[in-house]
């Protein structure tokens, strides 16, 4: 099923099927990738509504970067991804959410 999921992700999200397959098969995913960046923001700031970039531009960076460290994202990655607003759809939604969507297409 992992193989099919990888190709479904490739079709739906334009990512490399081999890349996602190997990452999942070898357990090389981070907590934040499973949860999705918007869910991480919601955990840190439950009342937040908006985009990741809007959040970054309006909140203290150091406390959020520390929080993201608990989600296995380094400070350098936090700064780079948020400053560049460089997120794939899968990173925004999270692998769990994307997988649930995939499973719903099988029924």
Q: Where are the domains of the chain?
A: 30-106
Predicted structure pTM score: 0.88
**Cβ atoms 7, 13 nearer than 8 A:** no
**Cβ atoms 8, 2 nearer than 8 A:** no
Q: How far is Cα 95 from Cα 92, in angstroms, rounded to an integer?
A: 9
**Helices 2-13 + 95-106 axis angle, to 10:** 100
Q: How far is Cα 63 from Cα 70, in angstroms, rounded to an integer?
A: 11
Give the contacts of 56 (CB within 8 A, at least 6 positions apart).
64, 82, 83, 85
pLDDT tens track for 37-86: 999 999 999 999 999 999 999 999 999 999 999 999 999 999 999 999 98
The pLDDT value given to residue 55: 96
Query: Residue 14: is its pLDDT beyond 90?
Result: no
């Amino acid at each position: 099923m992992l193989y099919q999921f990888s190709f479904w992700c490739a079709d739906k999200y334009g990512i490399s099927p081999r890349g996602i397959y190997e990452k999942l098969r070898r357990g090389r995913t981070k907590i934040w990738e499973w949860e999705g960046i918007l869910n991480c923001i919601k955990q840190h700031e439950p009342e937040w509504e908006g985009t990741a970039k809007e959040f970054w531009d309006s909140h203290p960076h150091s406390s959020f970067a520390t929080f993201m460290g608990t989600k296995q994202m380094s400070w350098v990655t936090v700064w780079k991804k948020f400053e560049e607003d460089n997120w794939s759809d899968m990173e925004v939604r999270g692998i769990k959410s994307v997988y649930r969507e995939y499973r719903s297409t099988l029924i």
